Amino acid sequence: MKIQESIKKRAGQAPAGSFPAHLYVHLPFCLSRCHYCAFPSIAVAEVPEKEYLTALLTEFRFRRKSWSGSLQPLSTLYFGGGTPSLFSPAFFSEIIDFFAREIGFIDAPELTLEANPADIEETRISGYLAAGINRISLGAQTFSTAGLRLLGRRHSAAMIGRAVSVLRQAQVENLSLDLIYAWPGQRTADLFYDLRKLTELAPEHVSAYSLSFEPGCEITKAVAAGNLQPVGEDLQLEMMHLLEDNLDNAGLCRYEVSNFARSHRWQSRHNLACWQLKDFIGLGAGACGGRYCRKTHEHWVERYSNTPDPNFYMQQLQQVALGSHSEDCAPAAWSLKEFVDFTSSFSEALMLGLRLRHGIDLNSLESEYGSEKVAPVISKAQLLCAEGMLEINNDRLRITDSGLYLTDTIINHLL
């Protein structure tokens, strides 16, 4: 069943006032591990497409039973990794067709595929688009040869431009580029060069993150050994200003601390759903999912996280397919369930909401968590409003441009 047929079949079926579902599929396979990567992934010579697809579909059926009655037609579907572009178009055609049959899609859904520039070629992209993919998130990271080598990327700077050319020729209209800055040895001149090259490619969306040193990563080990020197705080702040100024001049406006889009149309709908704590399902090794249950203050949000080991994941889901596990709850062997309490959920809602440039609606926050939680936040916010760090306008609390680079400090003060 094609997505368009699914839309026709499901039109008008979502209950009034409900939100369409958001679904994330984790594809944790790479040809090599990047030096900064902390995501659950493994390096393989060949992707086990058939076995992994079977496991994903089995998990979906399992999740659907445990979420009985709560799934709506899909609004967003996101394939992350790992390196999803290692998978064939046939893989995406089969899994998207499966979702179209099982739950359907809303009109004009967002279907994102993360891709490495080294994997982009005409036939493959045409197959992805035919399967239903309509948004590509391309991991450029930097246009510096030295930077790419430092980060452990397997593509070259030249491959980025060639990849974008192929994508545009294939009529990809929704293109996001990832950028990493403040890597060891980078200067403001290097970042300026990256931004010039990036904006010349005219993406609809940019995700730009300063390099974080995650435990266990190769680049973190090199810093700990004294072989690499992290960028200092002052230089990193200068880079953040340079980033925003250049992207803004190119028509890319910040809508989240690390994300920029040409207009509201090109904002990542899937990521917005996550930042706004909407219910979502995650499938695959290393994936997580969650929903509001609001049963008690201790069980306010229900979440799960799958084993990060793809081989163990596939083995366990094969057992689920054979009926070896109870279907009443996720087996602890391959998926752990946890509950987030009322207070922690409030903190998350405030933290994520304030990362968005339009801020957080105080009426909605009070409706969800009560005035006893919201009133102290408003009281603490008044001082920062006077200092120009926050503003309250039409019952919406947001961090100002002046306070943007102190986001973490501001949020900690409010909590």
CATH number of the domain within which 30 lies: 3.20.20.70
Q: Residue 39: what pLDDT? A: 80
The total number of structural domains in the chain stands at 2
What was the pLDDT predicted at 6? 53
* 269 and 346 inside one domain: no
Q: Are residues 52 and 134 in the same domain?
A: yes
- Mean pLDDT over 96-107 rounds to 93
Q: Is the residue at 313 inside a domain?
A: no
Say whether pLDDT at 370 is over 50.
Answer: yes
**Both 370 and 258 in a single domain?**
no
More confident residue, 73 or 2: 73
Question: Given the DSSP bridges, would you call strands 42-43 and 29-30 parallel, antiparallel or unpaired?
Answer: parallel
Whether 409 maps to a domain, the answer reads yes
Q: Do the domain assignments include residue 143?
A: yes
> Does 387 lie in the same domain as 271?
no
Q: What does the alpha-carbon distance between residue 79 and residue 25 come to, in Å, rounded to a whole number?
A: 5
- pLDDT above 80: residue 325: no
What are the pLDDT digits (tens) for 104-127? 999 999 999 999 999 999 999 999
* Per-residue pLDDT at 307: 95
What's the CATH code of the domain at 403?
1.10.10.920
Asked whether residue 291 is domain-assigned, the answer is no
Q: For residue 195, what pLDDT band results from cuts at 50, 70 and 90?
A: very high
Among 353, 352, 410, CA closest to 382:
410
Same domain assignment for residues 259 and 354: no
As to burial, measured by CB atoms within 10 angstroms (0-12 exposed, 13-18 middle, 19+ buried), residue 161 is middle
The answer to whether residue 189 sits within a structural domain is yes
Q: In this structure, are 245 and 347 located in the same domain? A: no
Confidence of residue 375 (pLDDT cuts 50, 70, 90): very high
Look at residues 95, 101, 11 and name the one whose alpha carbon lies nearest to residue 53.
Answer: 95
Say whether the peptide bond before residue 82 is cis (omega within 30 degrees of 0). yes
Q: What is the residue range of 407's domain?
A: 342-414
Domain final residue pick, 226, 247, 275: 275
DSSP secondary structure string, 87-103? Answer: S-HHHHHHHHHHHHHHT
The mean pLDDT of 168-190, rounded to a whole number, is: 97
User: In Å, what is the CA distance from 373 to each residue of 94, 349, 391?
Assistant: 46, 12, 19
Same domain, 270 and 376: no
pLDDT in the model for residue 323:
75
Residue 310 included in any domain: no
Classify residue 323 as left (phi > 0), alpha (psi -120 to 50) or beta. Answer: left
For residue 263, pLDDT over 50 is answered with yes
Residues 148 and 225 in one domain: yes
387, amino acid identity? E
Final residue of a domain: which of 227, 260, 275? 275
177, 73: one domain: yes
pLDDT band with cut points at 50, 70 and 90 for residue 389: very high
Q: What is the pLDDT of residue 211?
A: 93
Q: Is 347 exposed, middle or buried (0-12, 13-18, 19+ CB in 10 A)?
A: middle
| Arithmetic mean of pLDDT, 217-234 | 92
User: Is 365 part of a structural domain of the chain?
Assistant: yes
In the predicted structure, residue 357 carries a pLDDT above the cut 60: yes
Residue 302 lies in a domain: no
Report the DSSP beta bridge partners of residue 115.
138
Looking at the structure, tell me whether residues 240 and 385 fall in a common domain: no
The reply to whether 260 and 405 lie within a common domain is no
pLDDT band at 17 (very low <50, low <70, confident <90, very high): very low
> Do 348 and 258 share a structural domain?
no
User: What mean pLDDT value characterizes the chain?
Assistant: 90
* Residue that is last in its domain, among 234, 254, 275: 275
Q: What is the pLDDT of residues 126-166, one digit of tens each?
A: 999 999 999 999 999 999 999 999 999 999 999 999 999 99
Q: What is the percent of the chain with per-residue pLDDT over 70, rounded to a whole number?
A: 93
- Residue reference for tokens 């947001």: 398
Nearest-10 Cα torsion for 245, 246, 248, 251: 170
The answer to whether 144 and 194 have CB atoms below 8 angstroms apart is yes
CB-CB neighbours of 359 under 10 Å: 18
Q: Which residues pair with 319 in a beta bridge?
A: none
